[in-house]
Amino acid sequence: MLPPGSRAGAGLGARQGLIMRPDDANIAGNVHGGTILKMIEEAGAIISTRHCNSQAGEPCVAALARVERTDFLSPMCIGEVANVSAEITYTSRHSVEVQVNVMSENILTGAKKLTNKATLWYVPLSLKNVNKVLEVPPIQYARKEQEDEGKKRYEEQKLDRLETKQRNGDVILPVINPEPHTVGYSQSSLIHLVGPSDCTLLGFVHGGVTMKLMDEVAGIVAARHCKTNIVTASVDAINFHEKIKKGCVITVSGRMTFTSNKSMEIEVFVDADPFVDEPRERYRAVSAFFTYVSLSKEGKPLPVPQLLTETEDEKRRFEEGKGRYLQTKAKRQAQMQQAAQQ
């Protein structure tokens, strides 16, 4: 028998009333994309962990495996309240798909707006054995089509994760005296020692903590390139390839891969160096592409300086980024046309 409330769309992880403070935002008062990503992940972790423990069995914690493309639809500012809600939309045997929405609220006027929609995938890990993935209690679907659509999304993300992992051998090397607007000029890295406050009950880093650090590095890359106020516009799929354990030293690296007239694509990856308990070679733990836009003091979009590519690898990555940009643009236009026809 299914546990009460275990139906598709059950909003078990709703969370409300987080006021945005100055330390959540940049110098222009726009809330950091990483802050919002962290809130999204926390809501997803709550609902998926609750669901995976809703039936009698081994206790577990839901670990983030992947975040699908996330668009930042509208900026959130200091003083606004972030309302985060989550619902389970699909379960496979060993994973949970969670849909998270973020609404911003101006508490002076009562005005509300949707700022983010995100889809996340979690897997349940046993509290007794962190390498053991447990089975997920199934959910009920209102229509058979919901289950079929969810299964299709599951297969697509599974394939994409495999392809991403296979091309994750790149490293970022320092460049001596780089020219402005080149890849080497803006590339950045951040080194962080993973402590207890960064981790789950299992002693592994929260996905939201990792995403916040990634957004911070991507923001530095974007700011160095255009030297203006910048904000996160979207995040392509974030793949969590391996867990990061407490005591690891992680290196978060970012480099610009593509620029359009008004946006910048930045590749970010996280490498982990385990030093405590089980020394092993450095490994690639997480990877993603972030897109940023440049804004004026009035919050209007500004032209982005063209990225100057120098090596064959940089030119190849630029063309790959251009392909992703055009694909996303075509998809957005198709969605707008479809909405206009309805």
Residue 331 has pLDDT above 80, yes or no: yes
Confidence label for 4 from pLDDT (cuts 50, 70 and 90): very low
Position 175 scores a pLDDT of 83
Assess whether 86 and 188 both reside in one domain.
no
If one compares 172 and 95, the residue with the highest pLDDT of the two is 95
Annotation marks residue 26 as catalytic: yes
Assess whether 242 and 331 both reside in one domain.
yes
Residue 3 has pLDDT above 60, yes or no: no
Position 56 scores a pLDDT of 87
In a domain, 3, yes or no: no
Residue 10 has pLDDT above 70, yes or no: no
Position 153 scores a pLDDT of 95
For 197-225, what is the mean pLDDT? 94
Position 167 scores a pLDDT of 58
Q: Which domain holds residue 278?
A: 183-335
CATH of the domain at 248: 3.10.129.10
Q: State percent of the chain over pLDDT 70.
A: 92
Arithmetic mean of pLDDT over the chain = 90
Task: Answer for the pair 221, 266: CB distance below 8 angstroms, yes or no.
Answer: yes
Residue 7 has pLDDT above 60, yes or no: no
Task: Answer for the pair 99, 118: CB distance below 8 angstroms, yes or no.
Answer: yes
If one compares 54 and 339, the residue with the highest pLDDT of the two is 54
Q: How far is CA 179 from the centre of its chain?
A: 30
pLDDT tens digits for range 159-191 = 887 776 655 667 777 788 899 999 999 999 999
Assess whether 136 and 198 both reside in one domain.
no
Assess whether 192 and 325 both reside in one domain.
yes
Confidence label for 298 from pLDDT (cuts 50, 70 and 90): confident
In a domain, 205, yes or no: yes
3-class secondary-structure state, position 328: helix
Domain edge (last residue) among 126, 146, 166: 146
Q: Which of 26, 71, 160, 168 is catalytic?
A: 26
In a domain, 124, yes or no: yes
Assess whether 193 and 324 both reside in one domain.
yes
Distance of CA 298 to CAs 142, 155, 232, 302, Å?
A: 46, 43, 17, 10
- List, in sequence order, every residue forming a beta bridge with 82; answer none if it has no partner: 18, 104
Assess whether 200 and 96 both reside in one domain.
no
Residue 147 has pLDDT above 60, yes or no: yes
If one compares 35 and 17, the residue with the highest pLDDT of the two is 35
In a domain, 137, yes or no: yes
Position 278 scores a pLDDT of 67
Domain edge (last residue) among 146, 173, 192: 146
Assess whether 80 and 205 both reside in one domain.
no
Q: Which of 24, 198, 215, 271 is catalytic?
A: 215
Annotation marks residue 168 as catalytic: no
| Cα distance between residue 61 and residue 53, in whole Å | 8
Assess whether 331 and 204 both reside in one domain.
yes
Q: How far is CA 200 from the centre of its chain?
A: 18
Q: Which of 12, 32, 1, 44 is nearest to 207 (CA)?
A: 44
Task: Provide the token pair at 78.
Answer: 């200091």
Assess whether 270 and 141 both reside in one domain.
no
Count of structural domains within the chain: 2
Confidence label for 16 from pLDDT (cuts 50, 70 and 90): low
Assess whether 247 and 137 both reside in one domain.
no
Domain edge (last residue) among 146, 169, 194: 146
DSSP 8-state class, residue 140 = B
Position 1 scores a pLDDT of 33
